[in-house]
Amino acid sequence: MADVVILGAGYAGIRAVKTLSKLAPKGTTITVVDQNAEHEERTQLHEVAAGTVPASKITFNIQQVLPKDVQFLQAKVSKVDVSTKMVILANHAPLRYDYLIIALGFRSEDFGLPGAAENALPLDNVTSAETITKTIEQHVANYKQSQDPKDLTVIVAGAGFTGVELLGELTHSMPALAKKYNTPPIKIISMEMATRILPMFDEKLANYAMDYLKSHGVTMMTGSKITKIEPNAVVYADGDQEKKVEGNTIIWTVGVSGSDVIADSGFKQRRNRVVVSNHLNLDDHPEVFIIGDVSAVMAGDSGRPYPTTAQISTQEGDQAGKNVAAALNGQPLTDFVYKPKGTVASLGSQDGIAQIGKGHKYTGFIAKMLKRVITDKSLLEDANLATMLKQGRWPL
């Protein structure tokens, strides 16, 4: 009898355990470890941060959706000792494993920018998303007394995928918040170092998103290299001059890195991502599989890893589950082959952009419908039909 431990119950971990439980030989012990009791659909965090949906809409209880033969342990992982095949936990006795799947997810990355950690709000989990929406509302509510325009200014640092989806959502929630507290319009400012947003999309689609945000009142400051974050301002370089944009709510969506457990465990890593084999495991420790946001899977001969997305994470989870089952059954392991299914970004409640394959591009309500279908499909596969029917977005 073998012991398999899966660290993390995000997109990659949930998919790995569901696949493995179907294929593992009888008698295999499977244990899932996560520091939270709830799984978070993190591709929807922007909705919680903007205040358009409650956290309960994008979370579900992990234990309730796991296969009956799988054990769940709510505990915080401190590090992994591959030499002794032990997982060290902060609040529980160590766990021994025969096979290990590490799927510990991401955290916000400030790249050491001065003041970012102290003065900007990250968006990397439900707790941070709820902090953002509460902070915005507190400042807006305070405006009646303060008459400080900074209370009515929301700055989003970073116009990548998460930043743009958050901006789109804010264009819908901020007018309602201003009406609630009877204030002047709330100013939304986007600051991005690159001169073009959303490089993962076709340029026409990216321009559509840019035009949408501008037409809905967002001040788009592309080409703005942020140099530091002050308590109530973002400082950036404009040529040889240093300038600042003031606002009492500063949201950080510039980038992410993998869980710090990776570095703490002594793995060879970059930004807490580990380069893995084509089987998604380690060459020197083939019993250890690393997937999702802590994994670096090389994209063909490009010399660069695939970007970290929920889509890739779920496919890696499936493959890791299959390969651990194959090893347990004495069968050969198979290579991971990423099969992209397209990219969709929402722009608030009724709009979006979508790129499916090379020739299928959509904007507007059709793209938003595709986003809702993807969200519901994720709930169905990660949780179950009952959860999808209760929390799904179709129809909306």
Q: Are 80 and 261 in contact (CB under 8 A)?
A: yes
Q: Are 57 and 43 in contact (CB under 8 A)?
A: no
Q: How many CA atoms lie within 13 A of 220 on its CB side?
A: 23
* Environment class of 7 (CB within 10 Å of its CB; exposed 0-12, middle 13-18, buried 19+): buried
Does 137 participate in catalysis according to the annotation? Answer: no
Phi, psi of 183 (to 5 degrees): -115, 165
Q: Are 82 and 285 in contact (CB under 8 A)?
A: yes
Q: Are 266 and 78 in contact (CB under 8 A)?
A: no
User: Collapsing DSSP states into helix, strand and coil, what is residue 208?
Assistant: helix
Both structure tokens of 389: 């029917």
Q: Are 164 and 209 in contact (CB under 8 A)?
A: yes
Q: How far apart are CA 203 and CA 208, in angstroms?
A: 9
Residue matched to tokens 């903007």: 50
DSSP string, 137-189: HHHHHHHHHH--GGGGEEEEE--SHHHHHHHHHHHHHHHHHHHHHT-SPPEEE
Q: How far apart are CA 152 and CA 136, in angstroms?
A: 8
Q: Please, which residues bridge with residue 155 across strands?
A: 189, 250
User: Collapsing DSSP states into helix, strand and coil, what is residue 64?
Assistant: helix
Q: Are 230 and 244 in contact (CB under 8 A)?
A: yes
Q: What is the dihedral of CA 110, 111, 114, 120, to 10 degrees?
A: -10
Residues 6+ apart with CB under 8 A from 111: 254, 255
Q: How far apart are CA 356 and CA 352, in angstroms?
A: 13
Give me the catalytic one of 40, 41, 109, 165. 165
Q: Which residues are marked as active site?
A: 165
